[in-house]
């Protein structure tokens, strides 16, 4: 079932729909997620069961997977595409047609899903949530491993009423790519990162994903000895061993693995495996509770702000605070908008109102404490600097008491204690907790190294910095680790020889590490992404596809011809009339009607057609048009001419 817009070919018809009745929102909490939505309670429970089961599969498969989420993950299940639309990410000012997406943040993660298309949405959500759990368990990972694991586990099928699951099924698009393309030598595959040309451009990106999946499949299910080595490799990564060293120690001869993967792929026999659970991950008895519509509306406003729809978010949240002045989360969401825009002076009064109205809400209190830290970072060596930290300490201390599993709250309070310098053991304890809960956040480990250095625990500080130097996710982090190691080396030398002149290099001050309200893109995380898929029309017997730019419609008395320019040629597909061709659009800039003549500007399209016999006649018809699907400019298809 296609979830994109279907348009009439001759003219656009706009139907004015009545205003929907007030949405009925439901809330359901499980061990690792909070689910809310205006979808039915049954739909929300179905999503909860599948997402918890998926998380359990990953947790059992990854060595040392953490049991607690470092920040809350809120899953919002919308009843329809219409109710999802207000929180869809925008492209050139228009909503992207998505069935679901994951939006990460330093304080909360959101997952949005269309309840009408749970299957399509879950593929996206499984992949992106896998990235979150992999990063939080293993820290920084090579691109092939991160994508390979995410691709491997996203195709998970629940069976036996939720008591079992099948993993390892082969995605058709990967099989097609592996059949028709030369494999990337493993030495090159391992060198690809998120900035590489192969990762970001053309058909080789698809081959990279397919081969990363195939290698992960082989190491997991294709060879028992290699599976043991994979577990050893993942354990080494989690311990902070550099990627190259961990791989060499676990797998030894990469050339042998290259040959094994080639043989494995050539056979095209990719077995799946069934995992069984003692009980259903989420009990059938779990039932959601009805919540006020305003609570759901606050989540919508917060999500809008986080996907860049700031003006809409302000209007929505301001209306809520006008209507319900005691809505603590609405005040906090409003304040966070200003905080992200570096409008700290405007943000603080809003966040303080939220804290006054939600004194027992850890999220609200942490938001206030975090922004007071920002105010401290922005202060220009005034006498009030420590006063700002003292103010931040109060809500953050309570937030940690309320939610001991929040890496964000522990990390922020650890920062305050480090900056004040009056209780360094407490700073170390808090930052150790934050680093343990969120090993992918390099900034927590950097601050912990600073606290240990100030306690003169040079050995532990050196160990942490050595790991950051090898595995830090940004050049800035690795450079700071390198410089800080030099400072520690100098401190050791001066301890052994007090007459030695002090180094001109100083350790990084705490202030240097938290100068921006980063929304989840700090040195230890990757920028938030919204990933989506197109539910393309299925091919029927005797049909083929071509892809290119839809440039013109040629009309005559007897027929119309669709012209598609692509792959170095001009395709011409005929129909008796436009109404015989099924037009499906996945674009937000599609015209309301299509008529004879040039298509200006041209748009990328997939055409489904029934081939005609080949002919050398100039301008011949290549086939009879069945459907034309207008796709985004960056869309890539597999196995299409």
pLDDT per position as a tens digit, 276-316: 777 666 545 467 789 999 999 999 999 999 999 999 999 99
CA 539 to centroid of chain Cα atoms: 31
Whether residue 217 has pLDDT greater than 70: yes
Q: Find the Cα–Cα–Cα–Cα dihedral 115, 118, 120, 126, rounded to 10°.
A: 120
Token couple for 357:
């109205």
Which of 57-66, 175-184, 452-461 reaches the highest mean pLDDT? 452-461
Question: Are 282 and 28 contacting, i.e. CB atoms less than 8 angstroms apart?
Answer: no
At how many degrees (to 10) do helices 41-61 and 143-154 cross? 130
Mean pLDDT of 8-32: 55
For tokens 């994508």, name the residue: 147
Question: Are 608 and 564 contacting, i.e. CB atoms less than 8 angstroms apart?
Answer: no
CA distance 364 to 357: 9
Mean pLDDT of 321-342: 96
Question: Are 533 and 123 contacting, i.e. CB atoms less than 8 angstroms apart?
Answer: yes
Select from 148, 144, 146 the least CA-distant residue to 220: 148
Domain ranges of the chain: 544-630
Whether residue 442 has pLDDT greater than 50: yes
Own/partner pairs for 257-262, CB < 8 Å, 24+ apart?
257/186, 257/226, 258/185, 258/186, 258/187, 260/218, 260/223, 260/226, 261/183, 261/186, 261/211, 261/214, 261/215, 261/218, 262/183
Select from 216, 204, 65 the least CA-distant residue to 134: 65
Question: Are 336 and 352 contacting, i.e. CB atoms less than 8 angstroms apart?
Answer: no
pLDDT digits (tens, 9 = 90+) for 90-107: 877 888 888 888 898 889
In this predicted structure, what is the pLDDT of residue 612?
86
Token couple for 453:
């250095």
Fill in the DSSP letter of residue 326.
T
Question: Are 225 and 215 contacting, i.e. CB atoms less than 8 angstroms apart?
Answer: no
Whether residue 381 has pLDDT greater than 60: no
Mean pLDDT of 512-539: 43
Whether residue 635 has pLDDT greater than 80: no
For the residues of 67-126, what is the DSSP string, one character each?
SS-SS-EEEEEESSHHHHGGGS-EETTEE---SEEEE--SS-EEEEEEGGGHHHHHHHHH
CA 291 to centroid of chain Cα atoms: 28
Q: 115: buried, middle or exposed (CB in 10 Å: 19+, 13-18, 0-12)? A: buried
In this predicted structure, what is the pLDDT of residue 17?
34
Beta bridge partners of 549: 565, 604
Q: SS3 of 568, please?
A: coil
Whether residue 21 has pLDDT greater than 80: no
Local confidence band at 585 (pLDDT 50, 70, 90 cut-offs): low
In this predicted structure, what is the pLDDT of residue 200?
58
For tokens 């759990």, name the residue: 133
In this predicted structure, what is the pLDDT of residue 359?
96
Select from 621, 634, 530 the least CA-distant residue to 586: 634
Q: Which of 31-40, 234-243, 252-261 has the lowest mean pLDDT?
A: 234-243
Token couple for 513:
């590490």
Local confidence band at 323 (pLDDT 50, 70, 90 cut-offs): very high
Mean pLDDT of 6-25: 40
Question: Are 388 and 376 contacting, i.e. CB atoms less than 8 angstroms apart?
Answer: yes
| H helix runs in 384-541, sequence order | 385-402, 407-420, 424-437, 442-454, 458-471, 475-496
Beta carbons within 8 Å of 561's beta carbon, 6+ residues apart: 553, 554, 555, 572, 573, 574, 621
CA distance 3 to 542: 25
In this predicted structure, what is the pLDDT of residue 408?
93
Query: Half-sphere exposure of residue 207, counting CA atoms within 13 Å on the CB side?
Result: 18
CA distance 444 to 525: 11
In this predicted structure, what is the pLDDT of residue 318?
97
Local confidence band at 416 (pLDDT 50, 70, 90 cut-offs): very high
Local confidence band at 68 (pLDDT 50, 70, 90 cut-offs): low
Phi, psi of 284 (to 5 degrees): -60, -25
Residue 291 host element (H or E): strand 289-291
Whether residue 12 has pLDDT greater than 60: no
Q: Which of 58-67, 447-456, 567-576, 598-607 has the lowest mean pLDDT?
A: 58-67
CA 511 to centroid of chain Cα atoms: 28
Which of 397-401, 512-516, 616-620 reaches the highest mean pLDDT? 397-401
Fill in the DSSP letter of residue 489.
H
Whether residue 502 has pLDDT greater than 70: no
In this predicted structure, what is the pLDDT of residue 162?
66
In this predicted structure, what is the pLDDT of residue 483?
86
Q: How many CB atoms lie within 10 A of CB 495?
A: 11
The better pLDDT of the pair 277, 555 is held by 555
Peptide bond just before 488 cis, omega within 30 deg: no
Beta carbons within 8 Å of 487's beta carbon, 6+ residues apart: 453, 503, 505, 506, 507
CA distance 346 to 337: 10
At how many degrees (to 10) do helices 424-437 and 442-454 cross? 160
Which of 195-199, 283-287, 416-420, 479-483 reaches the highest mean pLDDT? 416-420
In this predicted structure, what is the pLDDT of residue 472?
76
pLDDT digits (tens, 9 = 90+) for 521-533: 333 333 333 334 4
For tokens 């008395």, name the residue: 557
Percent of the chain with pLDDT over 90: 32
Fill in the DSSP letter of residue 449.
H
The better pLDDT of the pair 284, 191 is held by 191
Q: How many CB atoms lie within 10 A of CB 163?
A: 15
Question: Are 357 and 349 contacting, i.e. CB atoms less than 8 angstroms apart?
Answer: no
Q: 353: buried, middle or exposed (CB in 10 Å: 19+, 13-18, 0-12)? A: buried
Question: Are 103 and 530 contacting, i.e. CB atoms less than 8 angstroms apart?
Answer: yes
Question: Are 152 and 50 contacting, i.e. CB atoms less than 8 angstroms apart?
Answer: no
- Nearest 5°: CA angle at 271, between 269 and 273? 175
Beta bridge partners of 91: 94
* pTM, rounded to two decimals: 0.71
Select from 455, 408, 456, 457 the least CA-distant residue to 431: 408
CA distance 446 to 490: 18
In this predicted structure, what is the pLDDT of residue 482?
87
- Alpha-carbon Rg for the chain, nearest whole angstrom, is 27
Local confidence band at 501 (pLDDT 50, 70, 90 cut-offs): low
In this predicted structure, what is the pLDDT of residue 386?
84
Phi, psi of 187 (to 5 degrees): -60, -40
Mean pLDDT of 468-489: 82
**Residue 69 region by backbone torsions, left for phi larger than 0, else alpha for psi between -120 and 50, else beta:** beta
Token couple for 505:
């290099």
Mean pLDDT of 550-563: 88
Local confidence band at 14 (pLDDT 50, 70, 90 cut-offs): very low
Beta carbons within 8 Å of 221's beta carbon, 6+ residues apart: 168, 227, 270, 271, 272, 273
Average pLDDT, the chain: 81
């Amino acid at each position: 079932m296609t979830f994109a817009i279907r348009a009439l070919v001759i003219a656009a018809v706009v139907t004015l729909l009545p205003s929907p009745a007030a949405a009925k929102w439901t809330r359901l909490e499980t061990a690792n997620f909070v689910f809310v939505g205006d979808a039915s309670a049954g739909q929300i429970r179905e999503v909860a069961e599948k997402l918890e089961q998926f998380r359990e599969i990953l947790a059992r498969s990854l060595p040392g997977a953490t049991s607690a989420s470092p920040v809350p993950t809120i899953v919002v299940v919308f009843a329809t595409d219409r109710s999802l639309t207000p929180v869809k990410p925008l492209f050139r000012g228009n909503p992207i047609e998505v069935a679901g997406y994951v939006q990460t943040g330093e304080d909360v993660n959101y997952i949005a899903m269309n309840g009408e298309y749970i299957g399509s949405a879950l593929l996206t959500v499984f992949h992106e949530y896998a990235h979150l759990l992999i990063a939080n368990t293993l820290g920084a990972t090579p691109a092939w491993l991160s994508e390979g694991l995410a691709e491997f586990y996203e195709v998970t099928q629940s069976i036996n009423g939720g008591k079992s699951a099948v993993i390892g099924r082969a995605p058709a698009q990967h099989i097609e790519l592996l059949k028709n393309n030369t494999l990337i030598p493993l030495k090159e595959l391992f060198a690809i990162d998120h900035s590489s040309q192969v990762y970001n451009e053309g058909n080789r990106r698809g081959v990279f994903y397919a081969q990363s999946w195939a290698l992960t499949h082989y190491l997991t299910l294709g060879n028992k000895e290699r599976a043991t080595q994979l577990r050893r490799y993942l354990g080494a990564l989690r311990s902070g061993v550099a990627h190259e060293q961990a791989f060499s120690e676990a797998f030894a001869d990469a050339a042998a693995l290259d040959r094994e993967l080639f043989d494995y792929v050539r056979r095209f026999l990719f077995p799946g495996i069934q995992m069984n659970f003692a009980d259903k991950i989420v009990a059938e008895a779990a039932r959601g509770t009805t919540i006020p519509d305003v609570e759901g509306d606050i989540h919508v406003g917060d999500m809008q702000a986080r996907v860049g729809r700031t003006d809409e978010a302000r209007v929505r949240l301001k209306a809520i605070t006008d209507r319900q002045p005691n809505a603590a989360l609405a005040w906090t969401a409003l304040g966070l908008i200003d905080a992200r825009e570096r409008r700290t002076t405007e943000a603080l009064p809003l966040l303080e109102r939220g804290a006054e109205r939600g004194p027992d809400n850890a999220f609200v209190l942490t938001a206030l404490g975090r922004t007071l830290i920002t105010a401290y970072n922005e202060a220009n060596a005034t006498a009030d600097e420590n006063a700002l930290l003292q103010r931040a300490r109060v809500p953050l201390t309570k937030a940690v008491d309320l939610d001991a599993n929040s890496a964000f709250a522990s990390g922020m309070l650890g920062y305050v204690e480090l900056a004040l310098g009056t209780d360094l053991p407490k700073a170390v304890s808090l930052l150790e907790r934050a680093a343990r809960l969120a090993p992918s956040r390099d900034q927590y480990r950097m601050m912990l190294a600073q606290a240990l250095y100030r306690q003169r625990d040079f050995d532990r500080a050196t160990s942490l910095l050595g790991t950051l130097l090898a595995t830090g996710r940004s050049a800035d982090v690795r450079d700071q680790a390198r410089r800080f190691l030099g400072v520690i080396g100098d401190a050791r030398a001066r301890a052994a020889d007090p007459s030695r002149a002090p180094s001109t290099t100083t350790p990084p001050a705490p202030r240097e590490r938290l100068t921006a309200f980063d929304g989840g893109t700090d040195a230890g995380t990757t920028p938030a992404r919204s990933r989506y898929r197109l539910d393309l029309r299925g091919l029927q017997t005797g049909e083929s596809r071509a892809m290119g730019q839809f440039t013109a419609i040629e009309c005559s008395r007897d027929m119309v011809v669709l012209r598609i320019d692509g792959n170095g040629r001009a395709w011409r597909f005929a129909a008796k009339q436009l109404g015989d061709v099924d037009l499906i659009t996945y674009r937000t800039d599609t015209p309301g009607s299509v008529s004879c003549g040039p298509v200006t500007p041209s748009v990328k399209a997939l055409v489904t057609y029934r081939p005609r016999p080949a002919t050398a006649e100039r301008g011949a018809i290549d086939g009879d048009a069945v459907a034309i699907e207008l796709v985004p400019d960056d869309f890539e298809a597999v196995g299409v001419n």
